Every structure is written in structure tokens, then in C-alpha cells.
Structure 1
Amino acid sequence: MAWWKLHKRDKPGGPAAGGAVLASAAIITRDQVRSVVGRRQEWQAQGWDFYRTVPELKSGIRWAANGLSRARLYVGRIDPDGSSAPVPVDAQGGDMSPAMVANLLAPLEDLAGGQLGQSEMLRRLSVHLDIPGESYLVGFDDPASGERRWLVCSPSEVTSTGSGGTIRVQLPDSQSARIELSIDDCTLIRLWRPDDEYGYLPDSPLQGLQDPLRELQGLTAHVLATVDSRLKGAGIGLMSDDVTPASPQQSDGPNPIHSDPVTASLIDAASASLKNRDSAAALVPLLLRVPGSVEDKFKWFDFAAQLDEHLLPLRESATKRLAIGLDTPPEALTGMADVNHWTGWLVSDTGITMHIEPKLGLICDALTTQYFRAAWEALGIPDPENWACWYDTSDLKQRPNRAPEAAEAHARGAISDAAYLRELGFSSEDMPDEEEQRRRLLIQLATTNAQLAPAALEALGVQLPDVGQAIATDAVRAPVEISRAEPAIEAPPRNEPPALPIAASAVLDDGWRMACLDLAARRALARAGNWLLSRSGRSRRGELGHVPVHEVHMHVSPDQADLAQMLDGAYRDFHAATPGETDLHAAVDLYVRRLLLTGIAHERGLLAGHLAAAGCDRAAA
């Protein structure tokens, strides 16, 4: 059985036990149908006429309607002290069972066909509340498909049939599509903006805007009449001599031109400009000849009415009155000269807070009390009064770019991940899951921490060659065992060259490959030297100004814990030039780390001996 039919069944301990029956979740009951439905006042009909004929009014009402259509409805638990908005169901954690969550969300998912249909529902409700001041939400089982259907109807689309408890609803499918519904078989909710004096009557901003709207209509009609009159000819020019008008071509049709040539000429000139507003007849006057000289008798008569110079200020004044009276920010119609892209968000937020959210609150209150709680009670939700349908306007608000501040606060742990995503314009659904977070962390460890790289790569499923993996593991672990007190390579006195390993004399070569390895080591030492200089004081940097950057480590002692950061990205070109030689990469990195920790100067022969001792004979050749 569909959930929305549950409220038709008897409650536990039903009629036989003296219990009540949930007849409907509608605000309109059987005995109210004839007294409420179909009652329309004169100002409501006039409001629709103004909406269709005054573009300023239509623009303002649609501004609010489009804003409401972007709001999102959700189900949440009411804050006991009322200090914050209801907390959404999906933010409750694991305190509720999946069945309870499903029952809480079922009425919302069914309402108006889900989120897409609810957007159009909110748009129409906004228009109705701003024009006639009331609207009807009708839910019924479609006889054709058997599915639940929801309609947002104006008072003109819902009427009482006269037979008790039955209404006639105009369907949006066509003008002739109507359906009769029993109040017991449908959900009928009346939403209205209550009048301040009599709460049962609907109210609308248009009630107090009758005069400004009529003024705008009158000014528009005056402008149109004036413009049309100017198109009826450019007047008459009188010239001396005999009156001899240019006779128009005669017509023998059903509407012959006037027999009097002067009158016929006037009619012909006026009709030509009305038929074609680009015609020269609208600009060139009709010429007539009169006795006398040209100097004495040349005159021009203009029949066109002039536009009133006060017309534009009057229209602007009426528009301003309309903007103030509508339930929208005045600047939405009049504009603001001092608003730019830095302050525009403030105007938008004010419009949302003062005009859109109160209307959303009215709608959500009506839906919660007259629809959701009855449905939740029928579905067995405990304490349905603790839950409510509420709105989220985060998609509407345009705030200044606070992403840098949010990033810093998030890095310091001052705001949560959800707050950080909200400031960036993302939702919690965009957050990575636990598996993706684990994979990203392993990749970061593998690329930035040489000591943990083998374990991270193994956890990522990357299989390294056996030999290369053994050499790499020894190479990355060796620096951990090195200290300045017990260096892996014996540090000689400062002025004496270090002794080369025995194998160095056999492998020392000045070939191109050895030159490239020498350059890779120097670049890595220079990278580390720059890192050490950047963290030294100004006076210390002055003392080391004459020292080559790849020899700074001989004067500044680095910490072993900083080696990974010092050498970050130092081998990028070296690795790109020697792909796949992981043992060689590890040996060069171990050599550089030992030099940094021991303070020994780099020499090509020392590098060759180290590579030979590490088993990289080809690398040293």
C-alpha cells in the first residue's frame, strides 16, 4: 500500500474503540469547502489584470518567484531553543534506524514529484501569494496512471461544485481538462498570506498598489496615444498661388477615396504612415497652394500632440512607489547607481532575508502542520512535532570570496570540512570517502617522504623490482642511521680532501654519464643550500654570500628530519633522464644525504667511489 494512503486507515483502536480517524491532512475540511473555496474578491481579479499589463509589476513578482524556486526543502529536527534552523536528517549521524529515516523522507520525496517538481511548486506559490494572496496545493491519485499527482492552483482554478465535499480543479493540461475530486479522497491545503485585520482573509501587496498601478497604466496609454498621433502625418504646409492639391489616385473599389480632393489627400497621407511607419508620409507635410506670395503665405500646421516633458518623471515616480510597495527589494526594479560587484552581494542577502525567507517560512509552516505531521503520524514516526519541513537558501546567497580565509581557518582546525566546502560552494556529497582519503594520503607519503615511500607504494599495490626495492630500502633507511657524531663517510679535516674508497680509483672516469651524475648531485646540494639560506638570518646570509650555494651545507648544519623537505623536487630532471634506474636514484640520494649530514664537500671522485661501493658500476663508468 502506498504510504500516502496510510492516513486513510484507522488509527490503532479505531472507530470501534472510540478512536479518531485521520480523514485527511488538508487544511480545508468538508464543511469549509463551500465557504472558502471559490471565494474571490474584486481586487484579486484586478491584480491578475495588472500583472499581465504592467511589466514593472511582473518583473518584481517574478524576481521573488525565481528566488523561491532556487530554495531547497528538507526535513530536519527542530532546535529545542529555536536558536538555529532545523538540523537535516542526513546530519543526525547514526542515531536513527534506516527505516525511520526512510519514513521521515517519504512525504518529502513524494511532494510535487521530488526536488525538480518542488522548485516549480515554490515558484507558483510565490506568484499566488504576491497577487491574489492565496494558493491551493492539491494532491490526488491520478485516475489514468494511479500515481500521486500534485498541483499548485490559484483561486481561479479551484471551485466548489455545490454538492457537499466536492471540488472542481482546472488541470494544466488544457483549457477543457478538469477533474472533480471528493475532499475525502484528496489532499487540499490552502496557503494564504493572512490579512492584518482579519486573519482568515488573504492579503497581498497589490491591495495597496491599486493607484500606482492604474497610474502606470494611464501613463503608458498616454504615451502610446501620443506616439500614434505623431504618426498620422507631419502637418500641412501652405504655399502661395491657387489651391491645387496633389490629387490622389482614384479608386473604384468598395472603399473609394473621398470625393473632395483636399480631404482625400489628408486621408491618404495619414493612412500611408499608419500602414508603414517608415513611409515618408510620416515625415513630409502635405503641400497645398493658396493665393499670395510665398514669403507672406508659407505656413506649417502641426497636428501631432507633443509628449509631455513631465511624463518621464511621473512614470519614474509611479515605478518607485510600486517598487516600495512590492514584497521585493526596491532596487530590484529601480536599480542602484552605487551598487557594484563588491556590494551587490549585500543587496542580494538583504532581499533574501527580508523578502524571500519570510515567504518560505509561511510555506514550510503550512506544509509541516497540515501535511507532513499527519503523514508522519500515519507512518508511525514517534514525536512528529519534533520534526519540520524547512528550507535551505544557500544556493541563493552571493557572498564575497572568503575562500582564502576559509582555507587558512581549515588548515588551523578552526572550521570543519563541511564549513570549508560550503564557503567554496561545494556540498558534503563532494567530500572524498574513506578509501579515497587513504589513497591520497599514501600517494602524498610516497612522493614526499623517502623513508615511508616503499611501504606506501606497497599499500597502493605498486610492486617494485626485487633488486631495486632492496637497494631503495637500504638507501632510504641509511640516513636514519647517520649522525654528525658517527657519519657514514669519515669527515676529514676541513682543508684536506676526503679519502676515496679503494674502488674509486678503478671506476673514476670523466665520461658523459659521470658528468651527468655529477650535475645531479650538485643540483641537489644547491637545492638544499637554498633551503638552508632561506631559513637563516639576514646577517648569516651576508656571511655566506661568497660561498657557492652547493657548499652551504659545509657551513650550516642541517637537521636530519629536514632532509626530505630540503630535497623535495631536487631529482625531478635526473629521474626523468634516467627512468627505471631506481638503484642509481637511491645511491645518488644516499650520497647527497651523507654529504649534507657530514658537511663534506662534493667531489666527482668521491661520488664515483660511493657508486662503486653501492654496486652501481655502470653508473660510475
Structure 2
Amino acid sequence: MPTGPTDNAQAQAAVARALGGAAVRAQLQYTMAVNWQVPGEVFVLVRPGTATRRGETAPDEWVALSGTEVDYSGARWSYKDPMTGVKRNLAPDDLLMRVWSPHPRIQYHADSAVRPALPVLREIEKASQNIAARLDSRLAGNGLLFLPEEIDFPEQESGATGAAGFMEYVSGIASRSLQNPGTAAAQVPVMAQIPAEMIDPIKHIDLATDFDASVVALRADGIRRLAESLDMPNEVATGSTADANHWGAWQVEESTYKIYIEPLLDRLGDALTTHWYRPTLKRMGVTDPDRYRLAWNTSEIIQRPNRTEDLKWLHEHDLISDDAMRAEVGVGDDDIPDEEQIQLRRLARAVVAAPSLADDPRVAQLLFGFEIARTPAATQIEGGQPPRRDAPPAQDQRALPATQNNQPPQLAASAAPPEHLIAATELLVFDALSRAGGRLLKAPLRGQFGSVAKHELYLKIPYDPHDEGVVDRLLEGSFQFTGHVAEAFGRDREQLSTQVEEYVTVLLTTRTAHDRATLRRFL
């Protein structure tokens, strides 16, 4: 059973030379795929390398051949060299492998999806020939012009008279207008003098028919029918995948790979494994060569469904490893933070959850590079002595002027903010984070984060939060509705604006996800 890539150095060295090595492997795979799609068979020829002047052996030569270029006659195999066109007999040391899709009835015959589409291909070819013939035909394009023989035209320089002279006259004017298309003379109509009674008898007959107009539609219908017959998705067969053409659509859905591409790769891998790879490993002295097989790594071309959110949940609940999470989002080992960075990030998140930790000089020095100076508490009196127990409580300066003298106990500064205030403030936070995410989502990144909410883009798109002015630019124009929320809930406008802005700034600076409990502590 396949268990993944091997670490055996000899097995890796052998597979590096499969299909001629990296230099010619892509072209050989293309030739094999086309032959598999159209005639349904391909021959793979391996010619052993010859000894060089230095006594070394050159690498084996690999060739992909169409079935029409290989012949078996008189108990001898021969083939036509694709580079020279010269017919050559198969040498005793040559290895010739046939990879084919068996016909359901006569299984030694090759079959493909193109064979049932041959009548459709003939229709497409004849429609194209019809269009090309009409383009080439002067008669079909221009029709017939009948001129009365009584009309007398002046003699031309070539000596032509009558209708022939008139046609020569018109052709000469047309050629001169093509030579000088930008002049006014090119826009002047052709003038000729003929008797008045001869104007009506001049007739032009158009030979076009209704069928000519429908040929293009017939060809388009034939191409559609062909796309439905081939072993590939319709949009791929017609050269367009969604909004990307066949040059840009290099990724395929996993179902497309399973249905259309995997059968070809399995056949090629089985043939090369059985007739070349395992015999090669045996000659190299690899023990148990039957344990190994050739296969293709398709992780770079298969576009799998976005499982980031599911894996994120599993990672947060310690059900998958950090390596699995990084592999899913495509982060290499070089981007793994060192232990010092990890500890600093954990410390920053802890300070966000409990701001009082920043009072510790060691924490402030680690996070900010300087100590945070704290002013004495508002309840402290001069000299550092605690206030008298019977002293009246200090008035809350954050209260609105209208309520400073009659503030009820449930709205004291130490009371937790009400839940409806938290919910309203969260809308301000989501608005600010959405603006920041929209500014981070530049044009080259569009389409890569379709499953990520806009207010969470700052957690996905890399940026340097410590770069001067970055956070200010991301939050420009935010918090415009803070005053309305403060007025609705009887809070100080400036104080609430400062609290919300500080909270969002901390989220962007530490790249931490929004948490309602943390927001409640900020308020």
C-alpha cells in the first residue's frame, strides 16, 4: 500500500532519472497525455545510454511514441525516430512499453473518448472548410454585377474598353485609396458617366444563402458536443475555466483530478514501476524493490476545498499539530517563529487580557522596550497616606455633566458595563476591523480569502504592525459613530472613543482576535 515518499537514497536516485530526468520529463508527459486522450495508447521507449570517452555511461534516453510510429513486422519491432524521421529497428537492449486504454470488446485495441466523437469532429472540420472556402471565394463574397452591354465606357490605359474597362477603372481607384487611406481622396465616391436610361438595368446579385449564416453556429454546436464527449470537464475542453482561460487555469478541482487525470497517471505509474523502476532498483541492490512504486505528487495542482476554519477549530482545541496547520495554509518551515517570538506573543496576549500586567517593569521592558510610568491613584493623598475612612468618595469625572451630582450607585465606575453597551460597542469594533481588512486586501490578493470574514482579514494577511503609521492608516475614517453610541448609553463621548480606539489598536498591533470579555475589561 502507498505510504508516502521514501527516504531511501537509492530509490530517490533512480526515480530522478525516470522519463529522462527533469530536463525532458515535462515534454514527455505532455506527449503521453495527448496520445492517451486522442488515440488511446502511447509507446514509451527507453534506450540505454552509451559509454563516453571518459569511460562514463551517459543517461538513458527516453522517447514517447504515437502508435502510428511503431510497427511490428516479421517478428521485429521498429519505430520512426521522432527527431530525425528515420525508421529504426528496436535494439536488443531497448525497452519498449505500451500504455493503452483497452477497448471494452477487443481489449488489445486502444480506445479513447475521442473515437465516439469522430463524427462530430468531421462536422467541425467541414464547417471550418465551408467558412474558409467562402472567405477565399471572390464569387461567394462579392456576388455578380450585371452591366448592360449598351453602356460605353472610356478606354483605359491598358486598352480595355466596355465593362472590362470600367472594372479596371474601379479597381485602380480602390488600390489608390488603400495606398493613401488617410487622405480625403480616399473618402470621395467613384464617379462614372452613363446614360440615364441605363442606371436601372445595372444589378448586383448576392450569392449568399441562409445556410452560410448558420455554419458558424453549427461549428460552435459541434465544439460543444465534442467537449461533452471528451474525458475532461466541458469548460476545460472549450478552453475556459470560469473567468480564467486555459493558460491561467492550471489548478483543477479534486473531483476533476480523480475522474480524468488519475487514471492516466495510474496507468503510466504502473507501467513504469513494473517494467523499469523495480528492475532498476533490483540491479542497484535495493532490498525488497517491490515495496516501491512510482507515483505523482499532485498537491500543487489540485485545488481542494478551503478547510482553514475547520482546521483552525481543531488546532485551537489541540486536536492537530502546528505543522499540520502550517501545511494547510502553505507556510514553510522558514517562517516558523523562534521561541523568543512565541513567548513575546503569548505575553502580549496575556497583557491584552489583563492590562494590569503591564505595571510590572519587566513586562513593559520586554513588550515595549521601556518602562511605563504610572501616576498615583486618584484615591491617594499628598504624602502617600491613604484617605480617611470617613472621607466622601471622589466624584466620577467621566460622568456626563448632567449626571455628576446625581449618579446612581449602579452606574459607578467600578460597575461592569451593561451587555447592550458591549453589543453596540462591538459593532464599532467590527466596523473598524472591516475597514482595516479592506485596506489590506490589495488587488493581487483578491480571490484568495473568499471564506474569511472581512473583519478577520487582519489575522490572515501579513503586515508589519510596528511600522510607523501602519495602524493609523488602517483605522483612518473609523469610529465615526462612537458619539452616537456614547449618547445613547449615557457615556462620555471622548472616553468611550478612547477606550474603543485603544482596544482596536491593540488588536491590530498584536494581531489578536476580538474577544468580548477583553472588550468588557477595556470599557
| TM bucket normalised to smaller | 0.5 to 0.7
Find out whether 1:327 has 2:231 as its counterpart.
Answer: yes
Q: Within 1, Cα distance between the matches of 2:125 and 2:105?
A: 29
1:431 and 2:333 matched: yes
Which residue in the other structure is 1:89 paired with?
5
Does the 8 Å CA contact 2:127/2:216 hold for their aligned counterparts? no
Larger Rg belongs to: 1
Deviation at 1:182, TM superposition (A): 1.2
Equivalence for 1:148: 60
The aligned residue for residue 202 of structure 2 is 299
TM-score of the aligned structures, taking structure 1 as reference length: 0.48
Q: Which residue of structure 2 aligns with residue 39 of structure 1?
A: none
Aligned pair 1:191/2:103, yes or no?
A: no
Residue 105 of structure 1 corresponds to 12
Q: What's the offset of the Cα at 1:110?
A: 1.1
TM-score (norm 2): 0.56
Write the mapping of 1:194-343 to structure 2, written as runs, cut at 5 A.
194-230=102-138, 233=142, 235-236=144-145, 238=147, 242-245=150-153, 247-250=155-158, 262=163, 293-294=197-198, 297-302=200-205, 304-306=207-209, 308=211, 309-334=213-238
CA contact (8 A) 2:81 2:87 kept: yes
Alignment-derived partner of residue 17 in structure 1: none
Q: Once the 2 structures are TM-superposed, how far is the Cα of residue 449 of structure 1 from its aligned partner?
A: 8.3
Query: 1:540 Cα shift?
Result: 11
Superposition deviation, residue 364 in structure 1:
1.6
Cα distance, 1:135 vs. partner?
Answer: 1.1
Aligned-pair CA distance for 1:109 = 0.9
Fraction of identical pairs, as percent:
21
CA contact (8 A) 1:138 1:150 kept: yes
Tell me how far 1:220 sits from its aligned partner: 1.1
Match of 2:61, SS state, is strand
Question: Counterpart of 2:269 in 1: which secondary structure?
Answer: helix
Q: Is the 8 A contact 2:227 2:234 kept in 1?
A: yes
Q: CA deviation at 1:197?
A: 1.0
Residue correspondence of structure 1 range 529-544 to structure 2 within 5 A: 538=419
2:381 pairs with 1:497: yes
Q: State the alpha-carbon separation in 1 of the partners of residues 330 and 291 from structure 2.
A: 30
Are residues 195 and 547 of structure 1, via their aligned partners in 2, closer, same or farther at CA, if it must alter by over 3 Å?
closer
Residue type at the aligned position of 1:298: P
Aligned partner of residue 11 in structure 2, secondary structure: helix
> Which residue does 1:389 correspond to in 2?
294
Letter in 1 for 2:36: L
Letter in 1 for 2:221: S
Q: 1:324 to 1:277 in 2, by over 3 A?
A: farther
Q: Distance in 2 between matches of 1:547 and 1:265?
A: 91
C-alpha separation in 2, matches of 1:228 and 1:270:
18
Deviation string, structure 1 residues 453-477 (Cα, Å, up to 9, x no partner): xxxxxxxxxxxxxxxxxx9779999
Deviations 1:343-402 (A, max 9, x none): x99984443232122222222222222222322333444444443222232222334554
Q: Would you say the 8 A contact 2:277–2:293 is kept in 1?
A: yes
Cα distance in 2 between the residues matched to 1:409 and 1:153: 50
Closer/same/farther in 2, CA of residues 547 and 294 from structure 1, 3 Å limit: closer
Q: Deviations for 1:559-616, whole angstroms, at most 9, x for unmatched residues?
A: xxxxxxx9x989x9xxxxxxxxxxxxxxxxxxxxxxxxxxxxxxxxxxxxxxxxxxxx
Q: Which amino acid aligns with 1:300?
A: K
3-state SS of the aligned residue for 1:136? strand
Deviations 1:225-277 (A, max 9, x none): 223335764642647x93224544428xxxxxxx7854576689789999999
Q: What does residue 278 of structure 2 align with? A: 373
Indicate the residue corresponding to 1:120 in structure 2. 27
Task: Give the stretch that moved more between structures: 265-274 or 110-119.
Answer: 265-274
- Aligned partners of 2:70 and 2:77 also within 8 Å: no
Write out per-residue CA displacement over residues 528-551 of structure 1, whole angstroms, 9 at most, x where no aligned residue: xxxx9998654999999689979x
The answer to whether the 8 Å contact 2:151/2:198 transfers is no
Cα 1:402–1:242 change in 2 (3 A) is: same
Q: Distance in 2 between matches of 1:275 and 1:307?
A: 35
Question: Which amino acid is 1:497 matched to?
Answer: I
Note if contact 2:103-2:109 (Cα within 8 Å) is conserved in structure 1.
yes
Checking the alignment, whether the CA contact within 8 Å between 1:233 and 1:273 is kept in structure 2 is no
Report the residue type matching 1:441 in the other structure.
I
Q: Note closer, same or farther for the CA distance 1:126–1:273 as it changes in structure 2 (3 Å cut).
A: farther
Task: Give deviations 1:393-431, integer Å, cap 9, x for gaps.
Answer: 2222334554455444433334444543443245xxx22
Distance 1:268 1:199, change over 3 A: farther
CA positional deviation for 1:221: 1.3
Whether contact under 8 Å (2:153, 2:165) holds in the other structure is no
Match of 1:351 in 2: 256
Q: Secondary structure at the match of 1:305?
A: coil
Amino acid in the other structure paired with 1:154: S
CA RMSD of aligned residues (A): 5.3
Correspondence for 1:413: 318
Aligned pair in 2 of structure 1 residues 264, 347: CA closer, same or farther (>3 Å)? Answer: farther
Letter in 1 for 2:219: R
| Counterpart-to-counterpart distance in 2, 1:475 and 1:334 | 62
Determine helix, strand or coil for the equivalent of 1:389. coil
Q: Alignment partner of 2:137: what SS?
A: helix
In 2, the alpha carbon distance for the partners of 1:545 and 1:536 equals 10
Q: How far apart are residue 180 of structure 1 and its match? A: 5.1
Q: Distance in 2 between matches of 1:328 and 1:475?
A: 61
Contact 2:252 2:301 in 1 (8 A): no
The aligned amino acid for 1:147 is P
The 8 Å contact of residues 238 and 287 in structure 1, kept in 2 or not, is answered as no
Distance 2:364 2:220 in 1: 81
**What is the total number of aligned residue pairs between the two structures?**
376
* 1:170 counterpart = 2:74: no
Show the counterpart of 2:42.
135
CA distance, structure 1, for counterparts of residue 275 and residue 314 of structure 2: 43
Q: Identify unmatched segments of 5+ residues in structure 1.
A: 1-77, 79-85, 91-97, 252-258, 451-470, 478-490, 502-531, 551-565, 573-621
The 1:474–1:362 alpha-carbon spacing in structure 2 relative to 1, beyond 3 Å, is closer
Displacement after TM superposition at 1:165 (Å) = 5.4
Cα distance in structure 1, aligned partners of 2:173 and 2:125: 29
In structure 2, the partner of 1:441 is 342
CA distance in 2, matches of 1:534, 1:380: 79
Q: 1:208 to 1:274 in 2, by over 3 A?
A: farther
Instruction: Evaluate the alpha carbon distance shift between residue 182 and residue 474 of structure 1 in structure 2; reply closer, same or farther with a 3 A threshold.
Output: closer
State how far apart, in whole Å, the 2-side matches of 1:213 and 1:474 are: 75
